[in-house]
Structures are given as C-alpha cells and as structure tokens.
Structure 1
Amino acid sequence: MERVIQTETDDLSVKRSRSMSSGLWSVEEKREINIRTNDDIEGCFITGSCIIPSGEILLADYNNKKLKKLDNMYNVRCVCDLSHIPYDVCYVRDNVAVVSLSWKKLQFVDTTHSMTLLKSIDTDHECLGLVCHGDQMYVRDCYGSVYSYSTDGIKQQMIYLISRNESFLFNYYIFNNTSPITVSNDGSKLYLPGLNELVTIDNNGNHLFTLNNEDINFKCGVCVDDEGFVYVNDMNWNIIKISEDGRTILQVITNLSNLTGGRSRTLTFDRKNKALIEAGWSDTIIVLKLRK
C-alpha cells in the first residue's frame, strides 16, 4: 500500500554556499511504496539500487537473496533469485547489470523482461559497493578499498587503499558490511562515504578531498543528480546535498525519521522523475519528488 505525504521543505538548516543557492531543491511530495512480494520469506533489506536506461529501478534485497525490478512508477514487475546474498547493483551496458554477492562474487544479469542470470565471476576480494561509468566498473570491498574492473568483469587494479590507522573507522566497514560508492557524471571523480566523512578521489585513485563533519554521521547511501550534486544520507535520517567537488555541504534536503521503519542503506536519483529514492531495512521505499 502506498502512502503519500504532501510536504514543503523541512525546517532544517546547514551552512551552505550562497553562490549555489539557485540550485537548491525542496521536497514537493514524499511517497512510501511497498516493495515486498508474496514470495518474500523475510522482511526486505535493500542494500543496493540503480536506475537502468529504460527508467526501471533495480533493488538488491539482501534478506531474500533477490534482485527486484520496479517500473518507472515504482511497482515491482519481476524478481530474480540469486545464489548468494546481494550487496549492491549497477548497470554496465547492453541491458546487463552486475550484482555484488557474498563469497567474493560478481553476478551478471540480463535485465530485459523477467531478468535472467548470466555469468558469475569469482574475485580475490569481497565485493560490496558497485558503480560503473563508460567502460569502467569500480568495486569497493569490505574495508572500503576500491578496485577497477572492465565491464566484462576483468579485474584491472586496486586504485585506492583506505587508511587503516583508525581502528574505529576500520571496524566500521567490517561491522556494517557496506562500502557505498558513486561516480560523477563525467566519470572523473568517485565519492566514498564513511564515518563522519565523504572522501572524493579521482578515477585513478588519487585523493582529492575529505569532507569531515562531526555533526553529520554519513551512513550508506550516496548518489549524484543530473547537475552533478552529491547526495548522502546520515544516521540522523537526513538526506544531505553536497557540492560536486565534495567540499561543501549545501543543504539538508529532508529528514525521514517519521517515515521509514528501518535503517536506510541506499540512495538513488531518478533523473526522469526528478526524485530521490531511499531504501533500506524496510518493506517500503521512500520516493522524494523534488522541485526548485
């Protein structure tokens, strides 16, 4: 059952750049949409999501070991059973998506019609966060390090090794079993959320900037909109907008504490509908229709 809430911009303030004020969003509508199916044994736990060129949405359901495909109205249209627990999903090319699985696996999936499993690849590291741009796929492991792959699943090299000097940060990745990642629209930068920080690197793994903020506990979801702005969600249920260079917090888009029944894990920007899609440990996704 879908729940729709009309809303204006939430009354939350964050220091922001005045020069970017014309690009600020407000939330026109909040919708909660059920994505649990009759075949689901467990409650949904969505750990990864992406939009494919058709406008459909793919959701990786950790608890039920499924890949779910939603139409552009966010209704579940088909489900594909997976051999192992999924962590994330990204679209690569030619109607093919890749799902990162437990036990160090990458699973290729034909996304047309009812979805079909293609080849799977065993890797020499855990595969959690996934993102693709052009002919490059980037995989983040359970420690937060980043590897480059071809879209055929051929490993190229480790491009970024997270510092393990801070044992608390190191344990954060292990305990949460999540390492989100997204890429800028031109493919030149990668964004890596962590504990109280957002790390920005270039596509060769060179560190560009680390945005630290003790008041904002960056969580799991990260995505980029059609203008290049970065969005993350935090442990206070805020969705936060950040500048394209990863240096400046521009806006708190909204707070979701009164909507979602569980911890959020993934965030996707629906460019066609100008909406943010938030999902996590819940049988519903939250769709935030945006306006300027």
Structure 2
Amino acid sequence: MAEVERRRFGNLVTKVKDVQSNALYYRRLSWFLFGAEMPMLTGGCFLDDGRLLLSDYNNKKLILFDDSYNYIKHISVDGWPYDVTRGRGEGEIYIVLCKSVILRCHLNDDELIIRDRIRVPDDVRCVSVLDDVIFTGSRSAVSMMTLDGVILEALPKAGGNTYLASSSLHRKFFHKDGDIILCRTLDGNEVFRYEDSHLIDPRGMCLDHDDNLYVCGYKSKNLIKITHDGQRGRVVLNRLHKILRPMAIVYHPTKQQFIVTSYGEDTAFEVYQVSCW
C-alpha cells in the first residue's frame, strides 16, 4: 500500500494512494446530526438529481443529503427501513421495512408519497430494482419478483442478510452466498462465483460505471473490487479511514465517488472519490 497523505479541504479530507495508483478521498459525517438514537445506516441510493438518500434503521427515518453530502432533512417512515433503492421512474424509490413490506414510493419535493405496499417474506432486508423485476435479499434466499409482489423464483443461499447489486449494462445481478460473491443472469442462472480469503462477511455491494463490483467486508473491515467478469479482484482498502464495521456502499451515478456507511459508529459514513493517476 502506498503512502498515505492527509489534507484539509473544507471538512476533513484524506487522500489515499493504493497499489493501483487510485486516489480515494473521504468526508466524515458524525452520527449526532441524525436522530435520538445512534443511527444505523443500513442502505441507500443516489437520486436522479445527485442527492443522497440513506435509510436510518434505528430512528425509523430516511435521511436526505444534497449533492455535496450536506444534510437536508429527515423523512419519517412507518417502520424500520433497512434498504432503499431507486425505481424505474423519476422520483420513484423502493423501501424495505422490517415488517414484511416493501414500499413503492415517490419522492416529490422532499415529500414521500406511498404508491403501493408489496408483501414480502418477513426476513427480507435488501432490495434492487431493474426494469420490471424486484430482487430481494434475505437470510435464506435471493428472490426475483414482479412489481406487484409475485415471486418468480427464489434461490436458496447461506450467510445471513444479503445486499444486492443489479446491472442494466450487462443484464445481471450480484449477491452473496456465505463469503462467496455470486453473479447471475436476470433469469437466475449462475455466471460466476468469486471467493477471496481477504473478504469475510460481505455486506454492502455496488457497481461502478464499468460494472466493476465493490464489496464491503464487515468482519474483514475492508473493501474489495471485483471486475465485471469475475476474473480479477483486489483489496481496494485494507481498512477504511475511521469506520471499523462497514455496512452499505453506494456508487454515485455520474461522479467517480462512492459512500460507505458504518454500523452505528461515530462516523456515520465516509465519501471516497476514485481518480486515476
């Protein structure tokens, strides 16, 4: 790992050089901004306009930030939101509540309008939407379902709750099975399996603009990058800057940036920018 340089740029900003000569910058946001309880930021997505929306499980809220990661507001929800993702239409989002429900909503001028309540198994925690298919992740299975909640196929898996990432570019999706990362076609057929001894207890995962997959290791406390074809992988960060228990990761749709959330730590999330030297 190359030498670490630290600079101040507004809030604390750190530049990290890795062995592939990428530069990663982060911005810390502290938990006390968010609610009465220590927030547990278990999921998130970027909206069409570049703003960031995170799910705060502990405080039963969504948290909205502007495109510079400045706090805007809380949005209360009736339940414990574990994950949130963009839908097909402008302003459409899907929220997983830990009460056997996925909410299909519209975010209009920062007001959350519920359009539909989709019943799902009670252990579903994570969600991704691509075209007219909803992908859900639970402790025991990854499921594909219609937009009105009809299960098309359930694929058994192990290893606790699974995050998901789906690609419109290569028409496939990703999930974990134990400590192994699986890539599947949209109809569920396996494309590849990726296993890395450096990755222990995978949690959040996201795709960059080239469909490379980034995965947080919760117990390994690191960040792994896997090529879109599964042929190569490497440790991007042996450790994050302050976060010890990385939870969710979300890649910006237009910038070379991603955020990593913590599991109830003083640093709520860190923002990294990837730039080539």
For the aligned pair, the TM-score class normalised by the smaller chain equals: 0.7 to 0.9
Question: 1:219 deviation in Å?
Answer: 1.8
Task: Give the structure 2 partner of residue 20 of structure 1.
Answer: none
Separation of aligned partners in 2, 1:124 and 1:215: 33
Separation of aligned partners in 1, 2:21 and 2:154: 32
Separation of aligned partners in 1, 2:224 and 2:77: 32
Structure 2 gaps of 5+ residues are 1-9
**Residue pairs, 1:214-229, within 5 angstroms:** 214-229=197-212
Q: 1:28 to 1:248 in 2, by over 3 A?
A: closer
* Percent of aligned pairs with the same amino acid: 18
Separation of aligned partners in 2, 1:37 and 1:273: 25
Q: Is the CA contact 2:226–2:232 (under 8 Å) kept in the aligned structure 1?
A: yes
Out of 100, 121, 128, the position equivalent to 2:96 is 100
Q: Is the CA contact 1:6–1:28 (under 8 Å) kept in the aligned structure 2?
A: yes
Paired residue total: 262
Separation of aligned partners in 1, 2:235 and 2:90: 36
- Code of the aligned partner of 2:166: V
1:84-123 Cα shifts (integer Å, max 9, x gaps): 1111111112312110011110123322322223134241
- TM-score normalised by the chain length of structure 2: 0.86
Task: Give the structure 1 partner of residue 220 of structure 2.
Answer: 236
Determine which structure has the larger helix proportion and give its number.
1
- Code of the aligned partner of 1:138: F
CA RMSD of aligned residues (A): 2.2
- TM-score normalised by the chain length of structure 1: 0.82
Q: Is the CA contact 2:118–2:149 (under 8 Å) kept in the aligned structure 1?
A: no
Separation of aligned partners in 1, 2:208 and 2:21: 11
1:14-55 Cα shifts (integer Å, max 9, x gaps): xxxxxxxxxx561242221236436x1101101111111111
Question: 1:134 deviation in Å?
Answer: 2.6
Structure 1 gaps of 5+ residues are 12-23, 164-168
Is 1:265 the equivalent of 2:224?
no
Separation of aligned partners in 2, 1:60 and 1:157: 25
Higher relative contact order (CA 8 A, sep 6+): 1
Q: 1:10 to 1:187 in 2, by over 3 A?
A: closer
Question: 1:218 deviation in Å?
Answer: 4.3
Question: 1:159 deviation in Å?
Answer: 2.6
Separation of aligned partners in 2, 1:120 and 1:37: 30
Out of 152, 155, 169, the position equivalent to 2:149 is 155
- Secondary structure of 1:265's partner? strand
Question: 1:4 deviation in Å?
Answer: 2.1
**Residue pairs, 1:34-113, within 5 angstroms:** 34=30, 36-37=32-33, 40-92=35-87, 93-113=89-109
Q: 1:131 to 1:25 in 2, by over 3 A?
A: farther
Determine which structure has the larger strand proportion and give its number.
2
Task: Give the structure 1 partner of residue 117 of structure 2.
Answer: 121
Q: Is the CA contact 1:109–1:117 (under 8 Å) kept in the aligned structure 2?
A: yes
1:170-218 Cα shifts (integer Å, max 9, x gaps): xx31xxxx32000124261110024321011110011222112233214
